[in-house]
Amino acid sequence: MGAVRSPLSVVAATVAVLLTLTAAPAAAAPRAGEPTVVATASGLLRGSVSGGLRHFDGVPYAAPPVGALRWRPPAAVTPWTGVRDATAPASPCAQLPSQFLPGESNGGTSTDEDCLYLNVATPATRSAVPRPVLVWIHGGTNLSGAGSDYDPAAFVERGIVVVSVNYRLGLLGWLAHPALSAQSADGASGDYGLLDQQAALRWVRSNILAFGGDPTRVTVAGQSAGSQDICLHLASPSAAGLFQRAIMQSATCLQTGLLAPIPLAQAEAAGANIAASVGCADPATAAQCLRQLPVTTLLPAGAALPITGNTGTAVLPTDPARAWSTGAVNQVPILTGSTQDEYRLFTALFFDIPGAPLTPDSYAAILRQQIPIPGAADAILAEYPASAFPNASVAYSTALTDLFSACPAYDDSTLYSGHVPVYTYEFADPDAPSFLTDPVMPLAAFHGSELPYLFPGFGEGLSTAGQRRLATAMTGLWSRFIAGSAPWPRFTPARDVVLRLDQPGLTPITTFEVEHRCAFWDSIFGA
């Protein structure tokens, strides 16, 4: 193990596509020592106090990326006079509704491009020593979601300053095009959402001390696409020094598929095709034409765009997998992992059609369509026969979880651990709250199911004492890591410890690779 699996692109693309989630100034003067007023580099902010937490919401970290600033790197905030109100989150960045997680804020469409804001939450009590900082990058396939979807209370109550970030999504955050590259100082385009996140991290470095946070103890964390983006930041020279630790939950940028970075020229070609589809085919006028289009035209057009980073640029000079193989990365301790049943959610959403769930025959047909390597589907059906599982849906989702989530997560930990301290987990609560009604199979520990255990109230929230005990244990472990300690024994190539997170207890295991049949998948696709 340890090599990066490279299934045929048609396989990865077919399955990975299933993974595709302004405050006005106030005139009032602050009172001396008022705890809800903070001075930042751009001006004064007034927040609020609630439930033992200080909140500063809707804080601008970059200029609105509108008009001529659409599809340009984030620009500096214009300083303001007086005290700016920071008591309510800003609108989510422009997006269509999410298909996946109900906790994402935009139950409908957002068309707001003025969205580069963040939220800061701190303990209400002051500390003589600056506190560790968690910067949360939300998931949503880089297509949907908002920082305000995540309640920071569980971490703030443990003495951590939490920052959550909005960043440009979809076509507005990730479009590359030759005309846009020609206008760029570094000759590249795309990666605007990634650049937004780095701008937010620079804001944290410059301002977080005023909120009681320690700019030298910053952990950047994210789930799903947020995790993928952090994987890109680890390989990005422009992110050097912006964080000291990283948490990546349920996604990577090191494997093939829709989430893997692609060369700039490939991204530009895809962008040119999209531009032509919305009437901006002329290379000479494409940039101006695109900037004049309404956001309502751009949002649906973005469905055809690869929402990922572009390599061969100043932001990502080389492919992250290659960078890790040489150690040419931002070397920081990493906490990383996945859920035990990642793909049950996607199977339930896309294959278990009401009244027509997967059958042994349709399971076999789908595998043969998705994996057209001679003999591969038959080998998978022999390794994961429908008869060995409660139903064909569980068999299919187990096979895909192992192939596209568990074994890549194991490979990533092996690769990372050759350079930095790594702490690997598997979330495995079979009774995690589910938001689907009457699924063909229990969703168990599905993709995103760990989020309510870290962020109170996310999705369906927690309803049992066992769930709440596990949540307390998990936020404690995450907080230990954020504060700079080892949360559990390290994963190393010699001792591949994975901490299994379940209601009965927290169990270190060294059988993860065997349980998820990674040797079998190596025999199919090569180690």
d(CA 454, CA 434): 16
Instruction: Name the catalytic one among 250, 447, 450, 516.
Output: 447
**What single-letter DSSP state applies at residue 328?**
-
Structure tokens at 32: 């001396």
d(CA 136, CA 152): 9
Instruction: Specify the 3-state DSSP secondary structure of 251.
Output: coil
**What are the helix (H) ranges across 121-224?**
153-156, 170-174, 178-182, 192-207
d(CA 275, CA 396): 37
> Residue holding tokens 């350079």?
419
Active site residue 138: no
Active site residue 447: yes
Instruction: Specify the 3-state DSSP secondary structure of 152.
Output: coil
Q: How far apart are the first and last CA of the chain?
A: 6
Active site residue 342: yes
> Residue holding tokens 């299919």?
396
Contact 174, 305 (CB under 8 A): yes
Sequence-distant (6+) residues with CB within 8 A of 208 are 120, 133, 161, 163, 214, 215, 218
**What single-letter DSSP state applies at residue 405?**
I
Query: Phi/psi of residue 445, each to 5°?
Result: -90, 75
5 burial type by CB count under 10 A (0-12 exposed, 13-18 middle, 19+ buried)? buried
Q: Which amino acid is at 266?
A: Q
Q: CB count, 10 Å around CB of 87?
A: 16
Nearest to 142 by CA among 178, 196, 186: 196
d(CA 196, CA 373): 40
Please give the radius of gyration of the chain, using alpha carbons only, rounded to the nearest integer. 23
Phi-psi region of 326 (alpha: psi -120 to 50; beta: other; left: phi over 0): alpha
Structure tokens at 157: 């109550």
d(CA 56, CA 53): 10
Instruction: Name the catalytic one among 342, 426, 450, 513.
Output: 342
Structure tokens at 199: 């701008």
Which residues are catalytic, by number? 224, 342, 447
